[in-house]
Structure 1
């Protein structure tokens, strides 16, 4: 019997998920938006036409023009440059806070879902306490105690999102720990550490990856809201939320001051949401079948 042709061979789970993802127009659009925002953040020093904190009194409160594509603010600072540099702050805060929340919440969720018993009860009651508070109110309370600033903002958002990560990782570990290959490895004498880190957690990565993309979007919204309230990165740093707050007194006459950073927030959050939805569909085994 002749060997099966390459086209007839079944696709690996990774290639199947990638094929499903790139068949989703909204997912590709979200990926493009996210890549563009990341590129703007990384290349801000090269593509920004002006210094984002440079005061130009002669150009204050100008509308969009050839010289200033998005106009200028009350102090004559170029809004396009500030929006571009603002992507650095938003992405840095969101990535760092979500990474910290994933590290702490993921560890707690993995221990809870794998060992069960009193460990599970203790960790889940702790997450219940954190989930009893709306994320934004919990972050505001922490910042009222810690004070504003980049790092305090990052820690506050991370604490607010630790409990959701613990819940997601716990649910994923509960599904994986009863799989046949885990039971077989356990029967062969594999240690708990090896079972957890080499078998259970890698096979729980799908739901966690989707949660990461969605939490990044929430973190960007949280950073913008806290900066709008004056609890985030302090002026003259070009934070998107702070820029919206600066333009609030001029909404009737010079709305572009708030519209420009508002559009940046909308497009960034939309990109991460579309990306997360497409990843969820691509990694769903029911759709794969």
Structure 2
């Protein structure tokens, strides 16, 4: 397929807009840093994150243990690095499932309307009627804890917002002139949906993914704090904070390390989402 001359110019404008966005740059750097820490945790971690060492229990921050040790003598810094793997994996898998389920249902509802729209929107209303964490707790009470059940619960919770965003975006695109022209040429509805509507309705979903990743990380930490997430001794930021809650006055570093990791990660995804929203705004792309 021949590339139009406008394509490189459009990409150049998008790049200039991204470089002018402090939110996108700061968020991208923070997210990249967390992802790299998760990927290279085995190389960066100075100690085994699950190995017990009672002789070193509750040591304060030092050159050997930058974030101190916990009640079992485990290095907090190493556990924070490996905890990034757990949090990012749960967030990435759950949001991918939520996007596939909710985004597909919302796109079909917005494009075909009728009974499909009614059913999808009423199911979304039911899910959105419950607070996200409360609904996840109810699902985990039925399914049981653990990595995969936690991932599934978060995916179910956030499928409804994706359905609504996808529906709204598809409703806007389906009224465009090029979609009507494709109908007039006799193209099938499925071809129109996949060839013309979905590619042009994807921008809001991209922004929604970045923002929902932050919510998923917070949900994973909250549920792990309650003991419903990844089970010990596997490192999890929420579980690490729970382990240190009784020692905040005497050994606060046990909770401070994972707390800072959650804060920086969520901040990074939020800033990245804000930057993407500005970057993908058609009004900015015309500048």
TM-score bucket of the superposed structures, by smaller chain: over 0.9
* Residue segments in structure 2 that go unaligned for 5+ positions in a row: none
C-alpha deviation, 1:55, in angstroms:
0.8
Question: Which residue of 1 is the match for residue 40 of structure 2?
Answer: 43
Distance, in Å, in 1 between the alignment partners of 2:104 and 2:9 is 28
Distance, in Å, in 2 between the alignment partners of 1:14 and 1:161 is 31
Question: Which residue of 2 is the match for residue 105 of structure 1?
Answer: 102
Question: Which residue of 1 is the match for residue 239 of structure 2?
Answer: 242
TM-score (norm 1): 0.95
Distance, in Å, in 1 between the alignment partners of 2:251 and 2:186 is 69
RMSD: 1.3
Question: Which residue of 2 is the match for residue 79 of structure 1?
Answer: 76
1:196 aligns with 2:193: yes
Distance, in Å, in 1 between the alignment partners of 2:236 and 2:18 is 32
SS in 1 for 2:80: helix
What does 1:1-16 align with in structure 2 at a 5 Å threshold? 12-16=9-13
Q: How many residue pairs end up in the alignment?
A: 282
C-alpha deviation, 1:288, in angstroms:
2.6
Moved more, 181-190 or 82-91: 181-190
Distance, in Å, in 2 between the alignment partners of 1:134 and 1:233 is 21
2:117 aligned to which of 100, 104, 120: 120
TM-score (norm 2): 0.96
Cα 1:12–1:136 shift into 2, 3 Å: farther
C-alpha deviation, 1:184, in angstroms:
1.2
* Residue segments in structure 1 that go unaligned for 5+ positions in a row: 1-5
What does 1:174-253 align with in structure 2 at a 5 Å threshold? 174-253=171-250
SS in 1 for 2:186: coil
Question: Which residue of 2 is the match for residue 269 of structure 1?
Answer: 266
Q: String of CA shifts for 1:190-247, please: whole Å, max 9, x gaps.
A: 1111111111000011100000000000000000000000000000010000000000
Q: String of CA shifts for 1:51-71, please: whole Å, max 9, x gaps.
A: 000111111100100110110
C-alpha deviation, 1:12, in angstroms:
4.3
What does 1:46-65 align with in structure 2 at a 5 Å threshold? 46-65=43-62
